[in-house]
Amino acid sequence: MKHLLTTTDLKIEEVKEILVDAQYFLDGGTWTPKENIFVANLFFENSTRTKCSFEVAERRLGLDIIPFEVSTSSVSKGESLYDTVKTLEAIGANAVVIRHSKDRYFDELKGISNVSIINAGDGCGHHPTQSLLDLLTIKQEFGSFEGLKVAIIGDIRHSRVARSNADVLVRLGAKVVFSGPEEWFDNELLENGDYENIDTAIQTSDVVMLLRIQHERHEVKGKRTVEEYHKAYGLTEERERQMKPGSIIMHPAPVNRNVEIADSLVECERSRIFKQMQNGVYVRMAVLKKAIEQSEGSDNNVNTNKKWPVAN
């Protein structure tokens, strides 16, 4: 794993290694690279959790960070993502963390050879470190994934999280069901799990994973008001009372309070929402460690690497 692009690309063995490393870091374990490692965080979409989480993870590993703000970069002069990453490579970046609104933006970065690319979310596609932190949170709670029932509820169609999670949870032995407004369903996703009525899903699952209504991406509430959405598909206080003993609530955040979930439940006993965020730091440390270890030994110096022959 030199790049981390999608959870689908990760072998189950790799997923397990990352979770072990993440728990090791959470328990106070340390690791630093053999030499100075430079990393840049390219966030083409707004973010608090993911960006800050990577920033903390990088500092905990002792990496050097090259600050990069899209709005004040040459991207605003029309420079392409490829040329931007290629530039950072030339300047000495060993890894770049990228969030971009375009699905599979990383396909145009195939030519990049000396930089590890860590996907921090691509359009409606993948968000592998979010999946991994969700998995860590579930593992901490239940010890294993085998036989667990996980309900993923809400805006399935536009959710990077739903895709990444459904795929890997099924591979790990869990059962996944989807719920929420039918018009947001995606037949492609249904390969990994059935659609279930909202009340059944909430009452019978070990993990109730709510998705964020992405107001900023599109008009998602359809013809419903926020209150109607909450009543029809949200985790209300009443629905929470029907949850299985020992079951937990998850949400990738930012939470729309009283839309996906009642305000009072965000910090309730079942909620692992802030624990997920905390786990995110350790999962990202593990992912960065893995990427750096794979790259160490390879020479990142353009001048020595390439003979720069000139055609005569």
Query: Quick one: which of 1, 17, 33, 60 contacts a second copy (CB under 8 A)?
Result: 60
Rounded CA separation 285/43 (Å): 18
Question: Near a second copy by CB under 8 A, which window of 78-86, 143-151, 181-189, 224-232?
Answer: 78-86
CB of 9 to a second copy, least distance (A): 26
Tell me the binding residues for carbamoyl phosphate: 49-50, 99, 127, 130, 253-254
Count how many Cα atoms sit within 13 Å of the Cα of residue 144 in the half-sphere of its side chain. Answer: 5
Query: Quick one: which of 20, 32, 59, 144 contacts a second copy (CB under 8 A)?
Result: 59
**Does residue 309 interact with a second copy by CB under 8 A?**
yes
Closest CA to 5 of 141, 137, 97, 139: 97
**Does residue 107 interact with a second copy by CB under 8 A?**
no
**Starting from the edge strand earliest in sequence, which strands make up the sheet with 116-122, in order?**
64-66, 38-43, 95-100, 116-122
- Residue 30 near residue 62 (C-beta atoms within 8 A): no
Angle at 296 between CA 294 and CA 300, to 5 degrees: 115
Question: Near a second copy by CB under 8 A, which window of 11-19, 171-179, 223-231, 275-283?
Answer: 275-283
Query: Quick one: which of 21, 55, 155, 260 contacts a second copy (CB under 8 A)?
Result: 55
DSSP string, 210-251: E----TTTS--STT--HHHHHHHHSB-HHHHHTSPTT-EEE-
Angle at 272 between CA 225 and CA 151, to 5 degrees: 60
Binding mask of the shown chain, residues 243 to 262, with x at each position contacting a second copy by CB under 8 A: --xxxx----xxxx------
**Does residue 311 interact with a second copy by CB under 8 A?**
yes
List % helix, strand, coil for the chain (3-state, nearest 5): 45, 15, 40
Determine the size of the site formed for a second copy (CB under 8 A).
71
Tell me the binding residues for L-aspartate: 77, 160, 212
CB of 38 to a second copy, least distance (A): 6
CB of 71 to a second copy, least distance (A): 7
**Does residue 277 interact with a second copy by CB under 8 A?**
yes
- Residue 163 near residue 41 (C-beta atoms within 8 A): no
CB of 40 to a second copy, least distance (A): 7
